[in-house]
Structure 1
Amino acid sequence: MPFTTESYPGVATDLPQATRGFVLNHSMLRVKDPQISLAFYTRVLGMRVLRKLDFPEMKFSLYFLARMQDGEQAPEDAGERTAWTFSQRGILELTHNWGTESAPEFRYHDGNAQPQGFGHICFSVPDLQAAVAWFDQNEVTYVKRPDQGKMRNVAFIKDPDGYWIEIVQADLLKQLGQPG
């Protein structure tokens, strides 16, 4: 029988018919200065901006970013690209509320200070040590390096707004959470 889900109290074992076709499209982070955040996510993490949407009446902008696969292309037409963006998986939405970039003391809660809430986003990389070398070269701030703490082979870095980003190499995590 094919795997469908791990089972715990509260887990529905049957996929509700009404949810067929649902896709987790994006997660959103609020950013103080889009220029600084876009530089980090595009230059350091290799993401591409798929679409920017401005809402002048509400004074905010949305930037939708993804880590595109080699050769993958989004539609050229802005409307088609918007629809395509909202059909993808693994999109990061950066929301900029206009004016925050010029407020010196302004900052967002990262979710990891008290009271805790949001924790982190995660990037899986093909080579953790090469990624760490790249982050070091780009003077990225670490919460935890892969060789620190009890959970080895997992790094946590910070983006310009202080949000945590977990960095993992999937094949190094086969024993994660296992006794021993």
Structure 2
Amino acid sequence: MRFLHTMLRVGDLQKSIDFYTSVMGMTLLRQKDYPAGEFTLAFLGYGDESDHTVLELTYNWGVSSYDLGEGYGHIAIEVPDVYKAADAAKAKGAKILREAGPMNAGTTIIAFIADPDGYQIELIGADHQRG
């Protein structure tokens, strides 16, 4: 068994693809329209789906926003330097939800940003398993 992907519903597919490729450094791996179901799927990631977990963006045609609810937490992305990654994301227009710094009651360096739909992304230092 292996973890294949995480799916997020998005209101503007191109805006979300631009965010995840430009700000987060992912690659658009594949995209397909499903006219009979009136939706489009886009898969993005940091490597080929055959050996990497990826992000699936689902755009339901004509739906421009979703209520994120209380159950969703965040996606965590490991970065070499959280301070630099947060600054780079901010420079590209990403909304910073929590500036880079030590986590509450710990030493691991984290930051939180939001994607265009408001989904939270935690940037976490590469040494997170030791902190």
- Under a length normalisation based on structure 2, what TM-score does the superposition of the two structures give? 0.88
Q: CA RMSD in A?
A: 1.9
Q: Distance in 2 between matches of 1:108 and 1:35?
A: 16
Comparing both structures, which one devotes a greater share of its residues to helix?
1
* Structure 2 match to 1:51: 30
2:8 to 18, 25, 29: 29
User: What's the % identity of the aligned pairs?
Assistant: 40
Residue 86 of structure 2 aligns to a residue in which SS? Answer: helix
Aligned to 2:95: 141
Count of residue correspondences = 129
Separation (CA, whole Å) in 1 of partners of 2:115 and 2:5: 17
Deviation at 1:131, TM superposition (A): 0.4
- Aligned match of 1:125: 79
Letter in 1 for 2:94: V
Tell me the equivalent position of 1:97: 60
1:62 to 41, 49, 68: 41
Cα distance change of structure 1 residues 149 and 171 upon mapping to structure 2, 3 Å threshold: closer
Q: Residue in 1 aligned with 2:67?
A: 109
- Higher Rg: 1
Unmatched runs of 5 consecutive residues or more in structure 2? none
- TM-score under structure 1 length normalisation: 0.65
Query: 3-state DSSP class of the match of 1:146?
Result: strand
Change over 3 Å in CA distance of 1:23–1:48 after alignment to 2: same
Q: Partner letter of residue 49 of structure 1?
A: L
Whose RCO is larger (CA < 8 A, sep 6+)? 2
Matched, 1:169 2:125: yes
Which structure has more strand as a fraction of its residues?
2
Please give the secondary structure, in 1, of the residue aligned with 2:16: helix
1:44 positional shift: 0.5
